[in-house]
Structure 1
Amino acid sequence: MGNQRVMQRFAKWHIWLGWLVGFPILMWTVTGLVMVAKPIEEVRGNHLRMDVPERALPADTEIAVSLPAESTRPVRSVTTQVERGETITRIAYMDGTTQRFRPDGSPMGPLSEVEARLIVAEGIVGGEAVAGTARFDADDVPFDFRRPMPVWQVALADGTHVYVGTETGRIEAVRTQWWRTFDFVWGLHIMDLQTREDTSHPILILFAILSVIGALFGCILMFRRRKTRVVPK
């Protein structure tokens, strides 16, 4: 009799927990299904990036770039490459900014709209079908980029947004329509639609704990004994 009462109590709690966490569990299942519907490489737009062959530096290349003083602007890395027929030296600073220089040491200005379009046309499948362009400062980037750096947004006809750094001269991100869908359901999955980055906050933890308890009660109730009904003849 005592065991039966305990099971009845578990069943009652299980029903109430089911009403409480049923929607979050359904949401986690549906959003999880959406997020695994396509390979993550396709979500990130890697399939749209074309392999641009690298070119060796000319044998007589002379680099006349002077590094800034360590005390004023620390340097993280220096690279020199041939891009679109021009030798470019990049200095990446510890504060996250980047500068480009010509072989004679003269600095290159921010990337122009025409250059951004050319980079996208050369590096992205369908990159020549441009629907529009817009330039954004580091503190005012679109939500689907979310990185503090100045960029050109090159919007393609299929809805893909390609972001090219105005300082780096490189494609920094590819945001397809599916990426934006993935990003939205990810926000639902972690219950953070505002930043979509906080994977450990009280609301998520609370509902996760309640879901675990509800599932545990359900497993216990699987061993609940039921009285055999006698069917009259």
Structure 2
Amino acid sequence: MTARRTLRRLHLWLAWIAGVPILFWMVSGLWMVARPIEEVRGTALRAPAAALVLPSRLTPPVGARALTLEMQAARPVWIATLTDGAIVRADATTGRSLPGPDEGEARMLANAARIAPPAITGVTRTTAAAPPLELRRPRPAWQVRFADETHVYIDAQSGAVLALRTAQWRWFDWMWGLHIMDLGGREDTHHALLIGFAALALAGTIVGLVLLPLSVRRRRPRG
């Protein structure tokens, strides 16, 4: 009786301590699996890549170690990664470097990245040193916000589309941060708080399984 009483108390305390994070895990996990991932990613909102119109002569920029060719504002441009790691764009015909897009061009590129885009409600320039949490990339960018609460990020140097973030994506991201108990960065799945509560939940489950057969009373046979 003493051992069973001790196990019951231990199980109760473990349940109280680990109960709140378990509830968070279940709620956040249910929310994430209940949302179609295509809806979260905004797959239906993305316009297909524009068909490349190649000039008669292609001239790669000098000093590039990686090149991607794409259409921007109805003209072919190189997206070049230089030897120092910088990412720039260049004219596909001459190979000359092009300046990064200004706000007006960022609006145009963001509109071109979407199917039937709604009105743009605002544009903000962000820096590589302090990128928005939803971007997850240390790149200078233009954040273009639409009336449906979708954000499109245009690289401020290369003009490439870095990300499309829907309102559902931001909710999904917040739930993911809650699930792994990292609402700050939402990427750390190996930290003491998460490991500690997971260990407590496991211990509570084990104690509950030990208690289960001890709590089942055998019925006396009727005489």
The two structures have a TM-score, normalised by structure 2, of 0.88
The match for 1:197 among 176, 183, 187 is: 187
Question: Matched residues in 2 for 1:227 and 1:88: separation?
Answer: 78
Structure 2 counterpart of 1:144, which letter?
A: E
Structure 1 counterpart of 2:59, which letter?
A: I
Structure 2 equivalent of residue 166 of structure 1 = 156
Sort the Cα spacing of 1:203 and 1:94 in 2 relative to 1 into closer, same or farther, 3 A: farther
- Structure 2: where are the runs of 5+ without partners? none
Sort the Cα spacing of 1:15 and 1:170 in 2 relative to 1 into closer, same or farther, 3 A: same
Structure 2 equivalent of residue 61 of structure 1 = 57
Question: Matched residues in 1 for 2:29 and 2:60: separation?
Answer: 52
- 1:28 lines up with 2:28 in the alignment: no
Check whether the contact 1:43–1:179 (CA below 8 A) recurs between aligned residues: yes
The match for 2:8 among 8, 11, 26 is: 11
How many residues are matched?
Answer: 219
Check whether the contact 2:140–2:155 (CA below 8 A) recurs between aligned residues: yes
The match for 1:220 among 197, 205, 210 is: 210
Provide the secondary structure at the position in 2 that maps to 1:174: strand
Check whether the contact 1:97–1:167 (CA below 8 A) recurs between aligned residues: no
Structure 1 counterpart of 2:112, which letter?
A: E
Check whether the contact 1:116–1:169 (CA below 8 A) recurs between aligned residues: yes
Structure 2 equivalent of residue 140 of structure 1 = 130
Check whether the contact 1:190–1:204 (CA below 8 A) recurs between aligned residues: yes
Question: Matched residues in 2 for 1:94 and 1:128: separation?
Answer: 39
Structure 2 counterpart of 1:187, which letter?
A: G
**Shift of residue 132 of structure 1?**
0.8
**Shift of residue 176 of structure 1?**
1.2
Structure 2 counterpart of 1:7, which letter?
A: R
Structure 2 equivalent of residue 85 of structure 1 = 74
- My pick for the range that moved more, 211-220 or 124-133, is 124-133
Question: Matched residues in 2 for 1:227 and 1:80: separation?
Answer: 74
Provide the secondary structure at the position in 1 that maps to 2:213: coil
Q: Deviations over 1:88-118 (max 9, x none)?
A: 1221136542111112232110111121111
**Shift of residue 18 of structure 1?**
0.8
RMSD of the alignment, in Å?
Answer: 2.1
Question: Matched residues in 1 for 2:123 and 2:184: separation?
Answer: 26
Provide the secondary structure at the position in 1 that maps to 2:205: helix
Provide the secondary structure at the position in 2 that maps to 1:88: strand
- Structure 1: where are the runs of 5+ without partners? 68-74
Sort the Cα spacing of 1:188 and 1:82 in 2 relative to 1 into closer, same or farther, 3 A: closer
Structure 2 equivalent of residue 38 of structure 1 = 35
The match for 2:147 among 148, 152, 157 is: 157
Structure 1 counterpart of 2:62, which letter?
A: S
Provide the secondary structure at the position in 2 that maps to 1:173: strand
Sort the Cα spacing of 1:128 and 1:226 in 2 relative to 1 into closer, same or farther, 3 A: closer
Question: Matched residues in 2 for 1:165 and 1:155: separation?
Answer: 14
Structure 2 equivalent of residue 71 of structure 1 = none
The two structures have a TM-score, normalised by structure 1, of 0.85
